[in-house]
Amino acid sequence: MSKAVVVFSGGQDSTTCLIQALSQFDEVHGITFDYGQRHREEIEIAKQLASHFKLASHKVMDVTLLNELAISALTRDSIPVSNDLMDNGLPNTFVPGRNILFLTLAGIYAYQLGADVIITGVCETDFSGYPDCRNEFIQSMQTALMKGMDQQLEIRTPLMWLNKAETWALADKYHSLELVRHQTLTCYNGLIGDGCGTCPACLLRKNGLEEYLANPEAIQAQLAEKCHN
């Protein structure tokens, strides 16, 4: 029996990965992290979607210790979300160590479940300036987890080389564009669906959707070519 663990935030990217995984694996397990994030409504969205999709299991983990260490606009309500980069060249929504922690815990969960695949929705093509979304980092984490647990484990990143329009195309391929559009939460300000429309996450999502809806056939062809390769 094939099993996968999906790192699941309830946002557009992880929900699209989850929908795809349901067609590829016998058992799909979700893991969601509560790190005291600014847009914590996403946790409730993740619970609702996990129930909707009847996941084999859905674990919500309290990792609020991350909030104590990682100062970011996503962990401090007092820091407004900005479209400008900080002095170190990173967005102020970057949470240092977040994906290191998440993938480590997902790896432990996969070990306990007997799953040999972890799926995460990180993406380098629509790179938001987060170093822990790069393919190089993912490959390094995969190697570390396999060596540290002496077990075969693959970290799959279905969106790594897709742009946002192609991510919408992937949701549409699985007949889930409307669900992803209206029932997921990507907005840094915690608004479901189309969100606030002004934060960096909303702008990326909105521009990608408009691009896809303007020319769905061509973008589906681009997606098919990338998936084939």
Would you say 25 and 63 are in contact if contact means Cβ atoms under 8 Å apart? no
Residue 13 assigned to a binding site? yes
- 30 assigned ligand-binding residue: no
Q: Is 133 annotated as ligand-binding?
A: no
- The annotation status of 151 as a binding-site residue, yes or no, is no
* Cβ–Cβ < 8 Å for 34, 60: yes
Is 186 annotated to bind ligand?
A: no
Is 196 marked within a binding site?
yes
Question: Would the annotation count 123 as a binding residue?
Answer: no
114 is in an annotated binding site: no
11 is in an annotated binding site: yes
Does 105 belong to an annotated binding site? no
The continuous run of DSSP H or E covering 31 comes out as strand 27-34
Determine the Cα–Cα distance for residues 29 and 40; give it in Å rounded to an integer.
21
Alpha-carbon span 38 to 103, nearest angstrom: 20
The answer to whether 17 is annotated as binding is yes
- 14 labeled part of a ligand binding site: yes
Q: Radius of gyration over alpha carbons of the chain, in Å? A: 17
Phi/psi of residue 33, each to 5°? Answer: -115, 125
| Residue 12 labeled ligand binder | yes
Give the list of residues 6+ apart from residue 98 with CB closer than 8 angstroms, or none: 35, 66, 70, 132
Binding residues for ATP: 8-18
Residue ranges for the known binding site are 8-18, 187, 196, 199, 202
Question: What residues form the annotated binding site for Zn(2+)?
Answer: 187, 196, 199, 202
